[in-house]
Amino acid sequence: MTDHRLAPDVEETAEAIASMEIRGAATIAAGAAEALATQAREIDADSPEAFRASMRAAARTLRETRPTAVSLPNALRYVLRRMGGRSVDALRESVTDAVEEFVAQLDRAQEDLGRVGANRLADGDTVMTHCHSTDALACIEAAVDQGKHIEAIVKETRPRNQGHITAEQLREAGVPVTLIVDSAARRYLNEADHVLVGADSIAADGGVINKIGTSGLAVNARERGVPIMTAAQTIKLHPETLTGHTVEIETRAEDEVIDRETREEIGDIAVENPAFDVTPPRYMDAIVTEHGQFPPESIVTLMRELFGEGAAEPWAEP
């Protein structure tokens, strides 16, 4: 008999990802991997088959929380593909080891890409940011560590205002911050030397999927002649796009955009709330990863090297 019970921590992590208490592609990946480790430690399986089935069930529950950040399925794949052994104890250990290795790699990758990104920033530069990306912040923080003076223009990023998190973290890093509303971005591009964003997924053609508003910002930056880069560790590369799949763009609740009372006052209107958009590769100057920086169009080579041409999902029932 297979045992599909989930450790409470898996349900809690899934809920926290869905409600965006845990958010941002890298943080989601680490949270999901750690939930798999808890599942491995806490479930009481009476056979290796039951253990494997319960790990697959946990991965499916985590997978279903948010659709756009590919770091989530990439994290689950990383761990489940390393699950091995003949006994429950051996399987358990293989999962907890894989999670430890995965999380250490995430941290290392972010540190490495931070140094690569920092090399594009010069002393005295002003950087415009969108949303909150730990990979993008790693570049600015590395530049500051190199002794460069960096200032930031931070877009608030409606509807959830993740720009506030960016503003706080940059201020804590000693970076002078100017917070602006999203619609002021084009006006303030005159004062920016770079635009720096993160990514939830990167497609094989070099398209960057990131917080809604990134593509408009990129077009404006190009028009103003301000270089724009994406900071994204390779866990953000979307392997299924190698075989022609498109990336699902998450749609979130209307009440993130407008509260119920105001909406009722306005009357019968439609409200749309897509969480992400796609920036075509021609509007992006560079993708900065832990393996160096790439023109978007050549990211496919790295993607093939790291992910191959795809394989069966490890959380599917055999």
Binding annotation for substrate: 23-26, 66, 210-211, 236
The answer to whether residues 157 and 132 touch, using CB atoms and an 8 Å cutoff, is yes
* Mask for 194-223, x = binds ligand RUB (CB under 6 A): ----xxx---------xx------------
> Cα 213 to chain center, whole Å?
16
Task: Decide: is 112 part of the binding site for ligand RUB (CB under 6 A).
Answer: no
Q: How far is CA 100 from CA 33, 58, 75, 204, in A?
A: 9, 18, 12, 28
Strand ranges (E), 54-158: 126-129, 151-155
Task: Decide: is 279 part of the binding site for ligand RUB (CB under 6 A).
Answer: no
**Pick from 293, 140, 126, 129: nearest CA to 202:** 293
Question: What's the CA gap between 29 and 69, in Å, rounded?
Answer: 9
Q: Looking at residues 121 to 140 of the shown chain, list those that interact with ligand RUB (rule: CB under 6 A).
A: 131, 133-136
Of 131, 135, 277, 285, which one is the catalytic site residue? Answer: 131
126: DSSP letter = E
Which of 74, 126, 162, 241 is in the footprint of ligand RUB by CB under 6 A?
A: 162
Which of 26, 62, 140, 202 is in the footprint of ligand RUB by CB under 6 A?
A: 26
Question: What's the CA gap between 130 and 149, in Å, rounded?
Answer: 20
CB atoms within 10 A of CB 313: 15
Task: Output 90 or 179, the one with its CB closest to ligand RUB.
Answer: 179
Shortest CB 90 distance to ligand RUB, Å = 32
H-type alpha helices, 120-273: 134-145, 163-172, 185-189, 214-224, 260-266
Which of 6, 10, 14, 25 is in the footprint of ligand RUB by CB under 6 A?
A: 25
Shortest CB 318 distance to ligand RUB, Å = 32
Task: Output 10 or 136, the one with its CB closest to ligand RUB.
Answer: 136
Is there a catalytic annotation at residue 200? yes
Is there a catalytic annotation at residue 131? yes
* Cis previous bond, 48, omega within 30: no
Which of 69, 88, 167, 247 is in the footprint of ligand RUB by CB under 6 A?
A: 69
Task: Output 54 or 110, the one with its CB closest to ligand RUB.
Answer: 110
List Cβ neighbours of 260 (8 Å cut-off, separation of 6 or more): none
Of 112, 135, 200, 277, which one is the catalytic site residue? Answer: 200
Task: Output 91 or 209, the one with its CB closest to ligand RUB.
Answer: 209
Question: What's the CA gap between 164 and 148, in Å, rounded?
Answer: 23
Which of 43, 185, 218, 275 is in the footprint of ligand RUB by CB under 6 A?
A: 275
> Which residues are annotated binding-site positions?
23-26, 66, 210-211, 236
Give catalytic residues, as residue numbers: 131, 200
Q: Which residues form the interface with ligand RUB (CB under 6 A)? A: 23-27, 69, 131, 133-136, 162, 198-200, 210-211, 275
